[in-house]
């Protein structure tokens, strides 16, 4: 099963994303203070790795955006609905009916689709466009 990579998993954990997961990344670091006090030499940190289905469940199917368009003597508030689209071996993005891109993440070489979708999720959380919820 392909899952989010280490960097994306760390970022999701830092942002407070929580969902079911079956694997993860464990990072071990030596801690001199623990060695001196307790004889413990390793501190482990666990970062959940998420599969594509979990990330897609967390991503909204669409996002609304309001754009003000000025034309001559009037202004019009246009509400756009941007749908989640996945393009094979290219990108995952939110686009409207006219193929205008609102947010996107391109696939990187040797990267799982779960990681690409995870990076898009991170971007939406950081922009405040989605509220985190536990995916079940």
Residue 73, pLDDT score: 57
Cα separation, 108 vs 90, whole angstroms: 9
Tokens of 2: 């392909």
Secondary-structure percent of the chain, ordered helix, strand, coil, rounded to 5: 25, 40, 35
The pLDDT assigned to 118 comes to 94
DSSP, res 20 = -
C-alpha distances in angstroms, 82 versus 85, 115, 134?
Answer: 9, 21, 23
Tokens of 22: 């079956």
pLDDT digits (tens, 9 = 90+) for 87-122: 877 889 888 887 878 888 898 888 889 999 999 999
Structure confidence at residue 133 (pLDDT): 58
Highest mean pLDDT of the ranges 4-18, 22-36, 86-100: 4-18
The tens digit of pLDDT for each residue in 37-90 reads: 656 555 567 788 899 999 999 999 988 876 555 555 555 555 678 889 988 778
């Amino acid at each position: 099963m392909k899952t989010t990579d280490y960097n994306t998993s760390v970022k999701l954990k830092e942002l407070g994303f929580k969902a079911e997961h079956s694997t993860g990344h464990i990072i071990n670091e030596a801690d001199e203070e623990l060695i001196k006090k307790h004889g413990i030499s390793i501190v482990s940190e666990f970062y959940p790795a998420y599969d594509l289905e979990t990330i897609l469940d967390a991503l909204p199917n669409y996002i609304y955006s309001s754009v003000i368009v000025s034309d001559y003597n009037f202004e019009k508030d246009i509400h756009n609905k941007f749908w989640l689209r996945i393009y094979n071996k290219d990108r995952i993005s939110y686009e409207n009916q006219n193929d205008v891109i609102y947010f996107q993440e391109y696939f990187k070489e040797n990267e799982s689709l779960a990681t690409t979708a995870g990076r898009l999720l991170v971007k939406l959380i950081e922009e405040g466009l989605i509220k985190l919820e536990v995916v079940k």
